[in-house]
Amino acid sequence: MSTSGKIAVAGVVAAVVLFWTVGFWPGLAVLIGVPVAAYLLLDRSQRRRLRGASRRQLGR
């Protein structure tokens, strides 16, 4: 299984566990809020590098 596939499976498992333990809306807030907060903590050059890497991986 590829690395991105493993990450996707882990994300689904984490979402199911989170929704089951704390409820739907708090779980959704955590699943959306944590990556957004991590992105906002990056400085400008790191965000630019991250966007560039994403585009290269997509084949643009």
pTM attached to this predicted model: 0.61
- pLDDT tens by residue, 8-60: 888 888 888 988 999 988 888 888 888 889 899 999 999 988 887 766 665 55
Q: What does the pLDDT read at residue 42?
A: 92
Q: What does the pLDDT read at residue 51?
A: 84
For residues 18 and 31, the answer to whether their CB atoms sit within 8 Å is yes
The DSSP annotation for 1-60 comes to --HHHHHHHHHHHHHHHHHHHH-HHHHHHHHHHHHHHHHHTS-HHHHHHHHHHHHHHHT-
Q: What does the pLDDT read at residue 55?
A: 63
- Region label for 59, one of left (φ > 0), alpha (ψ between -120 and 50) or beta (otherwise): left
